[in-house]
Amino acid sequence: MHSALTGGLVGLAIAVALFVFEYYAVVNASKQSAKRKGSKRIELDPSERARLHNTGWFCVILPVIGAGLGWLLL
């Protein structure tokens, strides 16, 4: 397999794992916040939405970075 493809796939796997972990952490924090406030409805505040948005963009770029590094190093 070409080294750029290998790096891209590794970057994609890391990106998916990172986004899933970040989403789980944000939702869990929102659940705890709603529980403290006594509300049953879970809402993401603007900072949490921005955090997920920025993480999503990083996860889109990460496979390209992995492919470039795979091509350069291998």
pLDDT digits 0-9 by tens, 15-73: 999 999 999 999 999 999 999 989 888 889 999 999 999 999 999 999 999 999 999 99
Task: Note whether 11 and 67 are within 8 A (CB).
Answer: yes
Q: What is the pLDDT of residue 36?
A: 92
The whole-angstrom separation of Cα 20 and Cα 10 is 16
pLDDT value of residue 3: 92
* Residue 34 near residue 42, CB atoms below 8 Å: yes
pLDDT confidence of residue 1 = 86
Give the pTM. Answer: 0.88
